[in-house]
Amino acid sequence: MKKIILFSLLIFTNYVLTAQKTEKDYEHRYDAPWQQKTQQATTFIGYGIDNAPDFHGDINNPDLVIFFAGNQYMVVPELLAAFKKEHPEYTRVFAETIPPGIEESQQKSGTLVFGNMKITLQPDVVTAGKSRIIAQEKTHVLKNTYAYAKNKLAIMVQKGNPKNIKSLIDLARADVKVSMPNPKWEGIATRIVKAYENVGGPNLTTTIMENKVEKNNTFLTTIHHRETPLRIMYNNSDAGPVWYTEAYYHSKLTNHPIDMITIPDENNVSTVYMAGIYNNAPHPKAANQFIAFLATDLAQNIYKKYGFDTIKN
């Protein structure tokens, strides 16, 4: 009887230790991934050390590879599940949701090095802002392009808005720590700068993008859709201009301590998202079927759920 009890305790202890590997401690309580699903697999996440929330699905011998604009990370799990349900012949789909500038560099080099891991997959489908997709279409990198969603800007702030931020002009205040996308990597940065100039002219841009950067009061991100909410939730930044859907997701669809400040349409800047098929797509049939899927009511409604405006071509 004692042996049975001891054996049962060992099994229970092992289960608890295994479960703890994926639980978040207080220090990492807000760390991504923010959407996790139970999978029949060995699960390993080291929060703050080994974590890859922007790489989705099956990396080994995929049937379809999609490079998404990073700000669509919240849509991807549900979108891919719906696509695979509509097309059960595709069981292994891999997707990235990192900044389009980095993905474009990855396309050109053929390899992305992530930590000590190499990813040599070429995309079948690429999604990004309209200007980037059109530019790649003109150089014959992409074909069969399609516009499928729209977005605009908003300001992400701490829950309760303790700094009483009302507009983009408030981001110039000395007491406001700003998280701002880096123009070197993130296309959203040029849209935000345009919005700055809409409300405050070039002086506002200079204050936020130069003066406050020099004073370490504006932090330039590499991957704003992860860094900005984390910096705000961990009290490293007070506010950050982001895509509306990112602020909407955290403030409306999660219990994260984040609120959203909207920007009036007359000052705001919008963008159109497009998808295109990579000219050297390894899986052209699957690519065409995914592009067609983006036009369906099912896919459009998934985007609407997460705050995107949709486009019916």
Which residue segments constitute the domains of the chain, with CATH numbers given? 26-149+274-310 (3.40.190.10), 151-262 (3.40.190.10)
Closest CA to 53 of 276, 227, 260, 173: 227
Burial group, residue 226, by CB count within 10 angstroms (0-12, 13-18, 19+): buried
Confidence of residue 39 (pLDDT cuts 50, 70, 90): low
- What pLDDT does 221 receive? 96
Backbone Cα Rg of the chain: 21
- What pLDDT does 4 receive? 42
The model's pLDDT over 194-245, given as tens digits with 9 standing for 90+, comes to 999 999 999 999 999 999 999 999 999 999 999 999 999 999 999 999 999 9
- At 218, the amino acid letter reads T
Handedness of CA 100, 248, 35, 90 (dihedral sign): negative
- What pLDDT does 192 receive? 97
The model's pLDDT over 123-138, given as tens digits with 9 standing for 90+, comes to 999 999 999 999 999 9
Higher pLDDT, 297 or 101: 297
- Angle at the Cα of 159 (from 158 to 161), degrees rounded to 5? 65
**Is residue 245 within 8 Å of 74, Cβ to Cβ?**
yes
What distance in Å separates the CA atoms of residue 233 and residue 29, rounded to the nearest whole number?
Answer: 10
What distance in Å separates the CA atoms of residue 289 and residue 285, rounded to the nearest whole number?
Answer: 6
- What pLDDT does 15 receive? 36
Task: Please determine, for residue 273, whether its predicted confidence score (pLDDT) is greater than 50.
Answer: yes
